[in-house]
Amino acid sequence: MIHYGKTGIGRARGVAVAALAMLGALAIAPVAPGQAHAAELKVWRHGIIQAKSDAGIIMMVTQGFAQKEGLKLEISQFKADVIGLKALIAGEVDSYEGGPGGAMIAASRGADVRVIGCHWPGLPHGIFVRANIHSAKDLVGKTIAISSPGAMPDMLARALLERDGVSPDQVKFANLGGDADRFKALAAGVVAAAVVSNEYTPIATKEGLKLLVPGRELLPNYMRVCIMTSGKVLREKHDLAVRFLAAEMKALHFAMTHRDATLALTREITGVKPDDPRPAFIYDDALRTHAVDPTLAIPRAKFAWLQAQSIKSGEQPKPVDLSTFLDDSVRREALALIAK
């Protein structure tokens, strides 16, 4: 049952290429619930950020792909990735997905957190503002809606302020939960700016709002979604972790090659109306910009940049050993499993 409530370089690349070729060659499709015996399935508990207009991509793995890998997938939804991080540390989930910044900060403070794959390395968010705001200088004395300190919305807002020469002390930051909450606050005039997904672009004008700057311009090296787990989970459930990543890879490949099915799943999960333009907008943008990576590659250089930013901002007290924090072994085994 799914509950809706993350030896050499040449050889590794060869395995990845072979796995991608296999994904393309196989007619990968969702599996009917009756094709696997429930008694044989092993539970894997995974947390995601609250489902929105990209839900069909993010949650395609629930459509039989995990079951085909012998997993009973239990999904929990969180308003922010920091809640997913807390759930992982508390042992309430086996993995969660979200921005890796908070996980890196936690690891620098001794938390046993590992990144095992990144499937949405691009940043589809942006800073939306009232129509009378033209730059960060117009935000002086006003409020910007973010999620939590140190998380992606906070980093994006501060990057804008730095670019336009505005001190963070000259504005106010408000923790207003998820994208939907922040957009509503902006539309109601509670805040002057908000960091939200670019899926709101098609409906912003009707609310008297506009996109001031795309997030990918301010933070080109920021990674939107990675999958995190713990060293404890990897020691105790290594095989299940491999199977979970294999299921994610197959599901993501299917999602990005089956537009209609993915949009239909998004509408089913979120309950949005067929004429809501947001699911199609976010899907087409992800496809056009190659934002989703079904191989779950872990871009080490981007993590080095992220760590430098976290230390610079004072959120991260000391560097973490990226060779430990970034665990690519599970991903490589998942690619090998698919390639067989």
pLDDT: is 312 or 57 the higher one? 57
Question: Which of 203, 218, 233 lies at the terminal end of a domain, its last residue?
Answer: 218
Q: Which of 307, 312, 293 is nearest to 224 (CA)?
A: 293
pLDDT digits (tens, 9 = 90+) for 20-52: 455 554 445 555 444 455 568 999 999 998 888
Answer whether residue 3 is part of any domain.
no
Task: Provide the pLDDT for residue 29.
Answer: 52
Answer whether residue 250 is part of any domain.
yes
Task: Provide the pLDDT for residue 114.
Answer: 98
Answer whether residue 2 is part of any domain.
no
CA 186, distance to chain mean position in Å, is 23
Task: Provide the pLDDT for residue 224.
Answer: 84
Q: What is the pTM of this model?
A: 0.80
Task: Provide the pLDDT for residue 324.
Answer: 94
Same domain, yes or no, for 20 and 40?
yes
**Mutual angle of helices 238-255 and 329-339, in 10-degree steps:** 60
pLDDT of 275 higher than 60: yes
Residue 199: band (very low, low, confident or very high) from pLDDT cuts 50, 70, 90: confident
Helix (H) or strand (E) holding 46: strand 42-49
Same domain, yes or no, for 132 and 244?
no
Q: Which of 208, 200, 215, 218 is nearest to 133 (CA)?
A: 208
How is residue 247 written in tokens?
A: 């299921």
Residue 15: band (very low, low, confident or very high) from pLDDT cuts 50, 70, 90: very low
Owning domain of residue 141: 125-218
Same domain, yes or no, for 272 and 207?
no
Q: Tell me, what CATH number does 99's domain have?
A: 3.40.190.10
Contacts of 149 (CB under 8 A, 6+ apart): 173, 175, 315
Q: Which of 279, 229, 244, 245 is nearest to 57 (CA)?
A: 279
Q: Which of 123, 117, 122, 12 is nearest to 61 (CA)?
A: 117
pLDDT of 3 higher than 50: no
pLDDT digits (tens, 9 = 90+) for 279-293: 999 999 999 989 999
What is the percent of the chain with per-residue pLDDT over 90, rounded to a whole number? Answer: 71
Same domain, yes or no, for 211 and 158?
yes
Average pLDDT estimate for 234-241: 97
Answer whether residue 32 is part of any domain.
yes
| Count of domains for the chain | 2
Question: Which of 218, 250, 281 lies at the terminal end of a domain, its last residue?
Answer: 218
Q: Can you tell me the distance from the alpha carbon of 311 to that of 326, in angstroms, rounded to the nearest whole number? A: 18
Average pLDDT estimate for 155-167: 93
Same domain, yes or no, for 191 and 45?
no
Answer whether residue 1 is part of any domain.
no
pLDDT digits (tens, 9 = 90+) for 136-158: 999 999 999 998 777 788 889 99
How is residue 177 written in tokens?
A: 């939960």
pLDDT digits (tens, 9 = 90+) for 314-336: 888 999 999 999 999 999 999 99
Q: Can you tell me the distance from the alpha carbon of 300 to that of 309, in angstroms, rounded to the nearest whole number? A: 14
Same domain, yes or no, for 326 and 273?
yes
pLDDT of 17 higher than 60: no
Same domain, yes or no, for 281 and 196?
no
Highest mean pLDDT among 9-18, 61-70, 311-320: 61-70
pLDDT of 115 higher than 50: yes
Answer whether residue 4 is part of any domain.
no
Q: 15-19: long-range contacts (C-beta < 8 A, 24 or more apart)? A: 15/332, 15/335, 15/336, 15/339, 16/295, 16/297, 16/335, 18/335, 18/339, 19/249, 19/295, 19/335, 19/336, 19/338, 19/339
pLDDT of 8 higher than 60: no
Average pLDDT across the chain, whole number: 88
Residues facing residue 11 across a β-bridge: none
The answer to whether residues 67 and 41 touch, using CB atoms and an 8 Å cutoff, is: yes
Q: Which of 28, 14, 4 is nearest to 250 (CA)?
A: 28
Q: Can you tell me the distance from the alpha carbon of 142 to that of 31, in angstroms, rounded to the nearest whole number? A: 50
Q: Which of 103, 71, 72 is nearest to 87 (CA)?
A: 103
Average pLDDT estimate for 253-270: 97
Same domain, yes or no, for 60 and 169?
no
pLDDT: is 79 or 134 the higher one? 134
